[in-house]
Structure 1
Amino acid sequence: MNILVQGAGALGAYFGGRLLEAGLSVSFFVREKRAAQLIQEGLRINSPEGNVEIKNVTVYTSPEKVKNIDLVILAVKGYHLDQTIPQVQTIVQQTGAFVLPLLNGVEHLGRLQQAIGKEKVLGGFASIIATLNEKGHVNHTSASSAVKFGVLHNEQTEICEQLEEIHSLVKTNFLREENILKHMWKKYIFITALSGITSAMQLPAGYIASTKASFNVAKNVVLEMSTLAKKEGIELTEQEVEIMADRLKGFQKEATSSMHQDMRKGLPLEVEHLQGGALRLAAKHDVTVPVIETLYGILKPYENGKPD
């Protein structure tokens, strides 16, 4: 299987690097600046799962030059989706590849399905805490990492079976889930709460449980998001919702969300993709989500980076 990783931020570089480390055929589609950095520095990962350094990484910066690809792993931020979709369209038209998006949220599924066809878009997401340093090397700080994926269309069975076989080869987890859409929603619920509270507090995740008031804000986001999930046909038990909320208490003091990391660096935030997406779903179903709406209002000025 020939894999193209589109986007080489911390997430794309990490999982693409693990696939390369295992001897798989992997190339990257990136912007010019990141391409130059990868060519000069190579791909380096510092991780509890094992360090790795890979030279001579194959990179593309023009979609027209991409050939002979079976799977595109889409590892871009939500705010890059608009400019990414035409590139994905070109690559899929040229290669017939399937696309495994690892974006947070759920709105991107419909947009990608409309652009390239329902049969081409797998369900999936990633779990990892990582960032890039000034040289573009990946610093992976969580104890483990995973890509979870699954079938959203009956034509995707074979490609998912091939992805399952990768799991035993790589120093990370590639895990197939039968009800991938429910798992995506559980990730969306949790990350909307985690990113919202850490970024609004401008403090690491360890502080969520430091006061009852802060924890209640995060828990109420979980409850509001769970209501939206049910409106979208995703059935969650009370126990599943409670477990998600309790997970917010379990972070080490300095652990934090990727949104909070981006805020500290003065980078753009996925507030429109996460909290904004939730508000659009709430409007669709005519329900109110006052805590999410409040966090959205607090974070919106930081959407394009640190305000001047």
Structure 2
Amino acid sequence: MYFGGRFLEAGHHVSFFVREKRAEQLQKEGLKINSVKGNYEQKDISIHTAPETINNADIILLAVKGYHLEQAVSQIKEISKRTRAFILPLMNGVEHINRLQEAAGKERVLGGLAFIIATLNEKGHVKHTSKQHDILFGPLHESQHEICEKLEKTSKNINSNSFKKEDILTQIWKKYMFITAFSGITSTVQAPIGPIMKSKASLKTAKKSLQEMKDLSIKEGVSLTDKDVEQAFTQLKSFPADATSSMHQDLRKGYPLEVEHIHGGALRIASKHNVTLPVIETLYGIIKVREEGAVDMD
């Protein structure tokens, strides 16, 4: 909703493909962004709930939670087939890339990721609380350079930061490494980064999870380095004391969690290479009990 709103704000044609309940909310409330980078509101927006109503699209900006991917895949496949649109997933983790490529073809799926701390309030309005609002994208197939260049030009005038990266898979793994540690430590401790910063033991756990993800990336042919680990650790420590991950925000609200998509995905990749990730496995085990949302303690 945030990035779609920013493209809409800049005068580009944007439609929102959402579930029925969300469509009703958007029809009632409209699109509203409350942001440290500037507010935006639009009451009358284009909304779709069925693939067969979409006849024209260039790019599908896919921003669902990992646990909703399977529900969305068949619809995304149909929209891409009908329109020849490219799919730009802004999702955490890496497993979704192969899943989308299997469904829609390798030529259709771009590489992408986003850096933003945002959530929805009870009315479905976007609450953006960080200075970051960045999109990184790039080609995963040799035929995608032209569309990436077009997207780079299109996104220059929007109120967010958009960067074309030739090494997009490396960038995706850097984000995956970071979000595994950040979401893992904030969700297990159930606290924002401030209290974690005061605990050497908690910081050590976060750094070890970064190191495990770096080692895993090498197994996957993406050579992250110790320097990348240090940069991610520095970024973690640079956040404001009240900053937290989207997973921790969802946990506090009693919402489902992306733990299977993020931490579970890392463990599946590790199993494929016959390696272990003891810290990440521990974080996964602690968070997993809350995967479906609020836990009944009776």
TM > 0.5 fold call: yes
Aligned to 1:294: 282
Instruction: Give how far 1:244 is off.
Output: 1.2
Which of 173, 177, 200 is equivalent to 1:212?
200
Aligned to 2:185: 197
The residue type paired with residue 179 of structure 1 is: D
Aligned to 2:3: 15
8 Å CA contact retained: 2:214, 2:225: no
Aligned to 2:166: 178
Q: CA-to-partner distance for each residue in 1:130-155, whole Å, 9 max, x for gaps?
A: 11111111110001311100001111
In the TM superposition, structure 1's runs of 4+ consecutive aligned residues that sit over 6 Å from their partners are none
Instruction: Give how far 1:247 is off.
Output: 2.0
The residue type paired with residue 177 of structure 1 is: K
Equivalence map 1:139-158=2 (5 Å): 139-158=127-146
Instruction: Give how far 1:92 is off.
Output: 1.1
8 Å CA contact retained: 2:118, 2:130: yes
Instruction: Give how far 1:230 is off.
Output: 0.6
Instruction: Give how far 1:156 is off.
Output: 1.0
Q: CA-to-partner distance for each residue in 1:222-274, whole Å, 9 max, x for gaps?
A: 00011100100111222122111222212211110000000000000000000
Which of 47, 50, 61 is equivalent to 1:59?
47
- Unaligned ranges ≥5, structure 2: none
The residue type paired with residue 286 of structure 1 is: N
Note if 1:306 corresponds to 2:298: no
Which of 94, 118, 135 is equivalent to 1:106?
94
Structure 2 CA distance for aligned equivalents of residues 66 and 21 of structure 1: 21
Note if 1:86 corresponds to 2:74: yes
8 Å CA contact retained: 2:62, 2:91: yes
Q: CA-to-partner distance for each residue in 1:192-214, whole Å, 9 max, x for gaps?
A: 00000000000002222211100
CA RMSD of aligned residues (A): 0.8
Equivalence map 1:62-73=2 (5 Å): 62-73=50-61
Aligned to 2:33: 45
SS of 1:129's equivalent? strand
- Unaligned ranges ≥5, structure 1: 1-12
Structure 1 CA distance for aligned equivalents of residues 140 and 227 of structure 2: 26
Which of 185, 188, 192 is equivalent to 2:176?
188
Structure 2 CA distance for aligned equivalents of residues 23 and 276 of structure 1: 40
Structure 1 CA distance for aligned equivalents of residues 273 and 156 of structure 2: 42
SS of 1:139's equivalent? strand
Instruction: Give how far 1:158 is off.
Output: 1.4
The residue type paired with residue 218 of structure 1 is: A
Q: TM-score, normalised by structure 1?
A: 0.95
SS of 1:126's equivalent? strand
The residue type paired with residue 240 of structure 1 is: D
8 Å CA contact retained: 1:166, 1:174: no
Structure 2 CA distance for aligned equivalents of residues 245 and 293 of structure 1: 20
Q: CA-to-partner distance for each residue in 1:174-205, whole Å, 9 max, x for gaps?
A: 21011000000000000000000000000002
Aligned to 1:27: 15
Aligned to 1:259: 247
Instruction: Give how far 1:115 is off.
Output: 0.5
8 Å CA contact retained: 1:208, 1:248: no
Q: CA-to-partner distance for each residue in 1:14-35, whole Å, 9 max, x for gaps?
A: 0000000000010000001110
SS of 1:248's equivalent? helix
Structure 1 CA distance for aligned equivalents of residues 62 and 51 of structure 2: 13
Structure 1 CA distance for aligned equivalents of residues 239 and 110 of structure 2: 30
Structure 2 CA distance for aligned equivalents of residues 278 and 236 of structure 1: 15
Instruction: Give how far 1:91 is off.
Output: 0.6
8 Å CA contact retained: 1:124, 1:149: yes
SS of 2:135's equivalent? strand
Q: CA-to-partner distance for each residue in 1:54-101, whole Å, 9 max, x for gaps?
A: 121100001111111111000100000111101011111111110000
The percent of aligned pairs where both chains have the same amino acid is 59
Aligned to 1:228: 216
The residue type paired with residue 172 of structure 2 is: M
Aligned to 1:3: none
Structure 1 CA distance for aligned equivalents of residues 199 and 58 of structure 2: 49
Instruction: Give how far 1:160 is off.
Output: 0.6
8 Å CA contact retained: 1:209, 1:248: no
Structure 1 CA distance for aligned equivalents of residues 230 and 161 of structure 2: 26
The residue type paired with residue 288 of structure 1 is: T
